[in-house]
Structure 1
Amino acid sequence: MKVLLRYLIYALFALIAIPAMGQQKQGYIASLGRQNRWVDSVYRKLSKKERIAQLFFVRAHTDRGQAYEDSVGYVIKNEQVGGLVFFQGGPVRQAQLINRYQKLAKVPLLIAQDGEWGLGMRLDSTISYPYQMTLGAIRDNTLIYKMGQFIAYDFKRMGMQMNLAPDMDVNNNPDNPVINFRSFGDNKYNVAAKGIAYMKGMQDGGILTTAKHFPGHGDTNVDSHLDLPLLPFDRKRLDTLEEYPFRQAIKAGISGIMIAHMDIPSLDSTKNLPSTLSKPIVTGDLRDLLGFKGLIVSDAMEMKGVLKYFPDGQADVRAFLAGNDILELSENSERAIGLIKKAIRKDGVTKKEFEARVKKILAAKYWAGLNHYKDVSTDHLVEGLNRESAKALVQQLCDNAVTLLKGDGSTLQLNPLQKTAVISVGVTQPTIFQQELSQRWYLNSDMYIVGKATSADQLLDLLVKLRQYDQIFVSINDTRPRPASKLDYSNGVKLFISELASFQHSVICVFANPYTVAGLPGIEKSGALIAGYQMSDEMQRSAVKVITRLIDPKGKSPVRINQYFPSGSGVTLK
């Protein structure tokens, strides 16, 4: 009874309203159609060089020491760039640095960060919401909208105005090395619906959003951080699949879209030309054909995918001429500003076109409230970012995502009085999953740990021992910071898992990327199989709740795993 009461309290916390946030009366896209005196006034006061500088967002960190922080401050003061993109660090240090940097800018800086799963994607001591692949399993999109509101509150509390999210790539390539778990899945309709719910939650909460990576980075096997991927598909395929979520997001009023670094011959036949630098793609396809009026943001201009064929500032100039509004993370912003100033004269960029692009950035600053900028308060900052209602929402999201791929009530909730083994694979110490099952539910149980490379002899000895048990629960865990589509286990450990699945009365829970199930032949033979998508304490608790029938599994697999578990797989217990 006490356990049930505890979980009811968790559910109650999830319903608690988040701290009050100012609701925007008008979306950013709609605001662009109105004259803005603040924007006009600021624009008139800027020199041509300073106007160009508004297009540039530079990298910032709080984990690289004082010299690095000072170098960024120098760039802000001397170049008067438009914004910053913050990466790794801590919340208090970052808030203090934002206050310092804003004092160096004539026009308030637009502060952005990659927060696909919230502040925890970049900052320590903050909450990480579930990965987008995990969210892709959820059926109730209102929960994802609510998460967007929570993340908007966190961003505003940190003095940031723009989240470089959501990822709206359709991940239809299980071997994708750069998107994968960052995507909502392989179903374009699900990706669009989830991305729009997340985007609307954030924008209604008062921050700018950026769908990425147009026209779609989900079917590549090359990481554009390291090289230039080739997207060999024809226009019909791109129109109907890759671009679908972006088209829907545009209709829904998304404020920004990020361009990928990819070679796409069907859209621009120029050899080795990244899509970021292609006018037919950036202006012709996104701006003109799809009618997008918001901020077009380049992917990082320091990535190898764009620099490989266009070094020494060429990439920055071509990205500007292609139609990008924000040039993110230039290798050398000072050089790029000078080169673009020359290119405007040489390539005949009209005064009207240039003015419209700069004013679009200034309008974004106005929409986000930077016309009345205030310093970030660091009082109780960490406590506010780790509020109980946010923790409860993370648990609620996991409860709604956990998926029963195979099984029913009888094969899932085994006899708590029988001799039970609870095994965790891929770890070095007992897991939350083991502790919850052994200490609260299956008291006649023993816990075992199997490492990623446990020797064959040890595995054989353990298999002999496990045959003495009436039933076993197994958790398969990916402890890596980013859950890849293949587990880093030895072949011996993978065969061991296959043997466990063949045991009568076996229940296996996979706290890893769902694609990893395909790399574990025989796992489908287990009595029950649960997909947990990622190794987090909350997801492990969700799986235990399903096993012990405290909740019914509601999740559906967001991707095709193999022939046994197509996209949308998931058993619902009555």
Structure 2
Amino acid sequence: MSKPSLDEMLGQLLVVGFPGKRVPEEMEAFMKEHKIGNIILFARNMGTPEEVQKLTSSLQRIAKKSGQELPLLISVDQENGVVRRLGQGTTLLPGAMALAATNDPENAYHMHQLSGRELVALGINWNLAPVLDVNNNPENPVIGVRSFGEDPHKVALYGKQAMAGLQKAGMVTTLKHFPGHGDTNVDSHLGLPRIDHSLERLKEVELYPFQACIDAGADTIMSAHIYFPALEEKEGVPATLSKKILTDLLRNDMGFEGVVTTDCMEMDAITKTIGTEKGCVEAIKAGVDLVMVSHSIVKQKGALEQLKRAVEDGEIPITRIEEAYRRVLAVKQKYLLNVKEYASVPASVGGQVHQDEAMAVYEKSVTIEQGANLIPLSAKGKRILVIEPPEAIMTRAEDKHYAHAALGLAVQSIVPHSDVKQMPLFTEQLSALSHQYDTIVIGLLSASQQKEQQELLHQLVRFNFDVHVVAMRSPYDYNILPDGVGIYINTYEFSYPALEVAAKALFGKHPLTGTSPVTLIKSERNIK
């Protein structure tokens, strides 16, 4: 390869996103002028598999026309479960905590290999997964079921299997969110979290899965926008901007030689402190190789301009840029040189074989925590009502496109005469319903963090309904159950196959064998 210019190297250090299913003209011009080497896609970019494949092909053609000698890294957050980007025509696959609930690490390998195959077939070559955060804080608003659980050894085991499955399919993988986002009650999309643990504790818990996966051949690691005082004494400096964390700890102490990428530099933890553009400069100085600016082309252009100015002014040594550039090219050379180009979407994408394989794992993941002796519920001659939460995303990591939790539809597939109502329901409505229904199945969506859902659940018990719960996201909803609830089931996500398994279980059509990857203790019995 010819010796690159500064502009060409900087173009390879930026990851950009854009709206729509086609590349906007302004983005195409930006990519060509600066030889932008890396893309991130969201649900906003997804259509049918054919549309996704057409988009990724057009992106690669633009890169080739701009004179890039290697293909683009095209990334998505396809964690599966509650955080996914692919939609119609692809296979719904269980997320991390559902996989851990099967108590079989092979399921993590198999499901991630299947996920990788579908991504590769659509022209996506870089998955921003697996999540290695140890979710040991029930109040964590952004990780939760995206984690394999609360045990660092189990997270490491399942994380290694997930990483290996994706790599087997030909995917570049990403361990996130370093050095650990599990023990915080602040969402870094909305603010700057702080974790005060000592280095010794971090090594035993948060860092343990990362070290295990680094030793197993990690490709890229994503930094967290979180402040760790034990690792960085300068007040308020998140890991993304900390040389002590990304160079001294990750590179020198833990021996990571791959690519370091940031989480999105347009998250509030960055934009409301140092700012996106200046933050990109500080991230590169700290040891980052790829800065991710996912949304605004104005900020993407500004970041590139400030990076160039920082090099020309001597703030960033040219050797730091060359080092990052070499790492990005190395991962491209490892994964992208022999990628098969599909003339059309393979029938396996979203096909029956993949769906059956996924369902077999979903059937092993759903967990019953209470009321096993009450199964099966009787449907004959019973008036059954399903109450669902409104469609909603719980974090900015999720896409509103996939926010519908169809518990009612799942129950109706087993008991066609059941009715469905959506929250909110008020006291006077409940009074009327008490004369119409014998059995209530209520779907909760992170009720442990939603007072309205908690209050509704307590009201249903006070009205002496026969109440049974399907927790469709957070297993910690068990902690707020009032006395009087019968069956309690965790599905760990509101993917329809998981809800279908729960519905079958309630009415005795399928036995449940899942085991909770987190500790559940009822901590609150009554709301006054």
Give the shorter-chain TM-score range.
Answer: 0.7 to 0.9
Question: Is 1:59 the equivalent of 2:17?
Answer: yes
Give 1:450 shift: 4.3
1:494 and 1:303 map into 2 onto residues whose CA distance is 34
2:169 counterpart residue number = 205
2:515 and 2:80 map into 1 onto residues whose CA distance is 20
1:517 corresponds to which of 478, 495, 519: 478
2:256 and 2:448 map into 1 onto residues whose CA distance is 34
1:112–1:312: structure 2 CA closer, same or farther, 3 Å change rule? closer
1:386–1:491: structure 2 CA closer, same or farther, 3 Å change rule? closer
Which AA in structure 1 matches 2:386?
A: S
1:394 counterpart residue number = 358
Cα-Cα RMSD: 2.9
Which AA in structure 2 matches 1:486?
A: Q
Give 1:164 shift: 0.4
Is residue 86–residue 112 contact of structure 1 (8 Å, CA) maintained in 2?
A: yes
2:328 corresponds to which of 329, 339, 361: 361
SS of residue in 1 equivalent to 2:92: coil
TM-score by length of 2: 0.85
Question: Is 1:460 the equivalent of 2:431?
Answer: yes
1:245 counterpart residue number = 209
Is residue 188–residue 244 contact of structure 1 (8 Å, CA) maintained in 2?
A: yes
1:526-545 alignment runs, 5 A limit: 526=486, 528-545=487-504
2:74 corresponds to which of 111, 115, 126: 111
Is residue 196–residue 249 contact of structure 1 (8 Å, CA) maintained in 2?
A: yes
Aligned-residue identity in percent: 30
1:134–1:438: structure 2 CA closer, same or farther, 3 Å change rule? same
1:401 and 1:182 map into 2 onto residues whose CA distance is 14
Give 1:310 shift: 1.8
Give 1:488 shift: 6.7
1:31 counterpart residue number = none
Give 1:266 shift: 1.3
Give 1:372 shift: 5.0
Which AA in structure 1 matches 2:502?
A: A
1:319 counterpart residue number = 283
Is residue 478–residue 488 contact of structure 2 (8 Å, CA) maintained in 1?
A: no
2:302 and 2:428 map into 1 onto residues whose CA distance is 61
Per-residue Cα deviation, 1:337-365 (whole angstroms, up to 9, x for no partner) = 444345446247364x5434312211211
1:173–1:264: structure 2 CA closer, same or farther, 3 Å change rule? same
1:308 and 1:97 map into 2 onto residues whose CA distance is 33
* Bigger Rg, which one: 1
1:543–1:239: structure 2 CA closer, same or farther, 3 Å change rule? same
1:170 and 1:260 map into 2 onto residues whose CA distance is 13
1:477 counterpart residue number = 443
Is residue 131–residue 176 contact of structure 2 (8 Å, CA) maintained in 1?
A: yes
2:403 counterpart residue number = none
1:271–1:540: structure 2 CA closer, same or farther, 3 Å change rule? closer
SS of residue in 2 equivalent to 1:136: helix
SS of residue in 2 equivalent to 1:104: helix
Which AA in structure 2 matches 1:55?
A: L
1:495–1:293: structure 2 CA closer, same or farther, 3 Å change rule? same
2:455 and 2:434 map into 1 onto residues whose CA distance is 12
Give 1:96 shift: 1.8
Give 1:162 shift: 0.6
2:316 and 2:423 map into 1 onto residues whose CA distance is 60
Per-residue Cα deviation, 1:393-433 (whole angstroms, up to 9, x for no partner) = 2211211111121244x43235676x434331126998234
2:408 and 2:508 map into 1 onto residues whose CA distance is 20
1:562 and 1:146 map into 2 onto residues whose CA distance is 32
Is residue 168–residue 183 contact of structure 1 (8 Å, CA) maintained in 2?
A: yes
SS of residue in 2 equivalent to 1:112: strand
1:4 counterpart residue number = none
TM-score by length of 1: 0.79
1:18-37 alignment runs, 5 A limit: none
2:464 and 2:78 map into 1 onto residues whose CA distance is 37
1:373–1:537: structure 2 CA closer, same or farther, 3 Å change rule? closer
2:399 counterpart residue number = none
1:431 counterpart residue number = 408
1:203 and 1:384 map into 2 onto residues whose CA distance is 19
1:208 and 1:514 map into 2 onto residues whose CA distance is 30
1:303-452 alignment runs, 5 A limit: 303-311=267-275, 313-329=277-293, 332-344=299-311, 346-347=314-315, 349=317, 351=319, 354-369=321-336, 371-372=337-338, 376-377=342-343, 379-380=344-345, 383-408=347-372, 410-414=373-377, 419-426=381-388, 431-439=408-416, 447-452=418-423
1:262 and 1:564 map into 2 onto residues whose CA distance is 28
Structure 1 unaligned spans of 5+ = 1-40, 440-445, 566-574
2:91 and 2:155 map into 1 onto residues whose CA distance is 23
1:413–1:372: structure 2 CA closer, same or farther, 3 Å change rule? closer
1:541–1:333: structure 2 CA closer, same or farther, 3 Å change rule? closer
Per-residue Cα deviation, 1:235-284 (whole angstroms, up to 9, x for no partner) = 22222221121111112222111000112211111122121011000001
2:505 counterpart residue number = 546
Question: Is 1:558 the equivalent of 2:520?
Answer: no
1:187-226 alignment runs, 5 A limit: 187-226=151-190
2:461 corresponds to which of 491, 498, 516: 498
1:227–1:509: structure 2 CA closer, same or farther, 3 Å change rule? closer
Structure 2 unaligned spans of 5+ = 391-405
Is residue 9–residue 325 contact of structure 2 (8 Å, CA) maintained in 1?
A: yes
Give 1:153 shift: 0.6
1:499 and 1:484 map into 2 onto residues whose CA distance is 18
1:9-24 alignment runs, 5 A limit: none
1:320 and 1:501 map into 2 onto residues whose CA distance is 60
SS of residue in 1 equivalent to 2:368: strand
Is residue 184–residue 191 contact of structure 1 (8 Å, CA) maintained in 2?
A: yes
Which AA in structure 1 matches 2:374?
A: T
